[in-house]
Structure 1
Amino acid sequence: MCVRFRHLQQDPVTAWFAETFPHQDVLRAEIGADLRRCPVLLTDPPNKSYFGHVVELAIGLALCNQSPYPRLFHCLDPCLATRLLTTAGHQPSVAGAASYDAGRRSDRALRPAHLFTAASRLANVRILLNQIDRHYSDAVPSTRHVLEQYPHLLHGHPRETYQTRHAFRIVWSSYSSGFHDALRSYGPATAQLSLLDGRRHADFLLGTTVLEVKSGRLDENHYLDELIRQILTYALLAHHDGHHVTHVAVYATRYQRLLRYRLGELINQLAGNPIDLTATGAELAALVRSQPRRRRPDRKSGPEERQIGRSAHRTAPWDRQQ
């Protein structure tokens, strides 16, 4: 099958990436070779998608000086939300839900057990919110109503939570060995950076570095291809939205590896010629806008989360710099 015909079988954004950045295979081979030399953490959580959410949320709660994830906290009863924020080391500026995006981190110590408690609860909130968000425009109040009626959804399955906690301890021990300090050195953290009016969301913007956190496998080409498209998408759209972006980074928790690249050099290498960052970002933005809008796209969603969503509806109406 010729390359041109294959592109016709792809969605427009994927085809655009293949045409604009034809040398992605070079980066894919480089990352793959790098990760194969890394010591892999032996974690086997029962629900890998849920585990990914927990790790990302815990990192956000640890990195951000300002309280992250206000949308998730707004899905909770104000008293419960305040308790979770405090558990995670944040202090709302004033009592009440309106302060969730204005609170500040008050405890600089990383307390893994406390962070896990908050992150695991928020992961369940996110999963439910993502499911409701596909069907209702007022997803936050709807999610809050469901959680008020069915509070057990916030806690998940006890056995799954216990096994996830064990895997989290292994990852967090690695994260605390130097990755946390490395990530903080990039600059102030913004979690779940909304891009292009919410059409895409980057895990983090740390100063001028767009960061993607990966907790799962990256041992096959299609995983790496998706990862490369993600970091390029977020960096280009962040630039288009007016954010000053100089680097892209990937923290692969399973492989205990933090990779960071200069954005300008990277896109020129992948394109095979100099790229106008502004024009390229605008072109990508136009393509994304032309597609049917996805509600709060969630890259971590998998069969496990879809099943949780169906159940809910049934019961409730270190650092390498390039």
Structure 2
Amino acid sequence: MITRSHGVSRDPVGALLAEVFPYQHVLRADIAADLRCCRVLLIDPPDKSFFGNVVELAIGLALCDQSPYLDLLRCLDHALAKRVLTIAAYRPIIDPVTPYDAWHRIDSAPHPARIFTAASRLAYVRNLVNDLDRRRFDAGDVARDLLERHPRLLIGRPTEIYHTRRAFRTVWDSYSSGFHSALRSYGTATGQLSLLDGHRHADFLLGTTLLEVKSGRLDEDTYLDELIRQILTYALLARHDGHHVTHVAVYAVRYQRLLRYRIDELTNQLAGAPIDLAFTGADLAALIRDRSRQEPTA
């Protein structure tokens, strides 16, 4: 259920955010006006969800100094995981048996075709893990077993890959034109930041900036409402978890736009008055944990 700041949500998390931040519609209007002035990339990938994962993972592989996405790599056999990291321009610091988290990127500008290959492999792993997780399986172990027995799950249909690669190349040309340098300037990158013991995941932590990557459309209120709810949730949970986060940012890929806000200024504006972020974050964390306990098990 997507929360509208001017309406009532049946989602308790959305309802809490709407109560604490009643002026979310102001930010929505500002972002919408900003994006309407942008030059939009003309891309139409066959599977938009898969494409979004490929773009996010590719950016992570290009930004992170140490190999990211260890949970996905561990779903692959060792030889294949090493091959994916090598394609993405990572190398072990000491010897080939070095654990994946000790591999480091050796090329700040990997070739688009290579980064696409590595990111698409990991995107197929992520899709499989997410599907298994929704079905209440022990996702990592089951995914590893399935991929060992059916390695072709990592390779999509040729026509789908062809059209996805074409759209990716358009996006990557745009990303490489200045966005990569801008994001690098924020600080050391962590991909798929786990929040509240894995109850939520932010796309990136760059120094003290939380970043969400959006490759899809943001031309309707519902899309923007969901985005605003996400960045508020992640900012509050990151502070609650003890991360020194000062800013939230959104990279709107299709619109070739990078938006960045100071957390304290943004939350005070959306609340209409100064608020206690620690108190609000604790309330939100408790609500999310309570919802998780109430969810039915398989």
Alignment TM-score, normalising by the size of structure 2: 0.94
Q: Hey, what's the Cα distance between the residues in 2 that align with 1:258 and 1:110?
A: 22
Q: CA deviation at 1:294?
A: 10
1:259 aligns with 2:259: yes
Which residue does 1:56 correspond to in 2? 56
Which residue does 2:235 correspond to in 1? 235
Q: Hey, what's the Cα distance between the residues in 2 that align with 1:276 and 1:13?
A: 17
Q: CA deviation at 1:135?
A: 3.3
Q: Hey, what's the Cα distance between the residues in 1 that align with 2:191 and 2:144?
A: 21
User: Is the contact made by 1:85 and 1:92 (CA closer than 8 Å) also made in structure 2?
Assistant: no
* Secondary structure, counterpart of 1:191 in structure 2: strand
Q: List gaps (5 residues or longer) in structure 2.
A: none
Q: Hey, what's the Cα distance between the residues in 1 that align with 2:253 and 2:245?
A: 23
Alignment TM-score, normalising by the size of structure 1: 0.87
- Matching residue's letter, 1:199: H
* Secondary structure, counterpart of 2:292 in structure 1: coil
* Secondary structure, counterpart of 1:265 in structure 2: helix
Cα deviations across residues 236-259 of structure 1 (Å, max 9, x unaligned)?
Answer: 100100000100000000000000
Which residue does 1:300 correspond to in 2? none
Q: CA deviation at 1:107?
A: 1.7
- Matching residue's letter, 1:217: R
Which residue does 1:286 correspond to in 2? 286
- Matching residue's letter, 2:53: H
Q: Hey, what's the Cα distance between the residues in 2 that align with 1:250 and 1:293?
A: 31
Structure 1 pair 201–213 and aligned structure 2 pair: CA distance change class (3 A): same
Q: CA deviation at 1:132?
A: 1.4
Cα deviations across residues 100-134 of structure 1 (Å, max 9, x unaligned)?
Answer: 12211122223111100000111001000111123
Q: List gaps (5 residues or longer) in structure 1.
A: 296-322
Which residue does 1:212 correspond to in 2? 212
Q: CA deviation at 1:293?
A: 5.7
CA RMSD after TM alignment: 1.9
Q: CA deviation at 1:55?
A: 0.1
Cα deviations across residues 8-27 of structure 1 (Å, max 9, x unaligned)?
Answer: x5111111111100000000
With 123-132 and 84-93 compared, the bigger mean Cα shift is at 84-93
- Matching residue's letter, 1:17: L
Q: CA deviation at 1:138?
A: 3.0
Which residue does 2:23 correspond to in 1? 23
Which residue does 1:76 correspond to in 2? 76
Which residue does 1:316 correspond to in 2? none
Q: Hey, what's the Cα distance between the residues in 2 that align with 1:104 and 1:127?
A: 25
Which residue does 1:270 correspond to in 2? 270
Percent identical among aligned pairs is 68
* Secondary structure, counterpart of 2:109 in structure 1: coil
User: Is the contact made by 1:199 and 1:293 (CA closer than 8 Å) also made in structure 2?
Assistant: no
Q: Hey, what's the Cα distance between the residues in 2 that align with 1:135 and 1:81?
A: 25
Which residue does 2:154 correspond to in 1? 154
Q: Hey, what's the Cα distance between the residues in 1 that align with 2:238 and 2:294?
A: 18
Give the number of equivalent residue pairs: 291
Cα deviations across residues 149-179 of structure 1 (Å, max 9, x unaligned)?
Answer: 1111101111101100000000000000000
Q: CA deviation at 1:180?
A: 0.2
- Matching residue's letter, 2:200: R
- Matching residue's letter, 1:27: L
Q: Hey, what's the Cα distance between the residues in 2 that align with 1:188 and 1:235?
A: 18
- Matching residue's letter, 2:202: A
Following TM superposition, the consecutive aligned residue runs of length 4 or more in structure 1 with deviations greater than 4 angstroms are: none
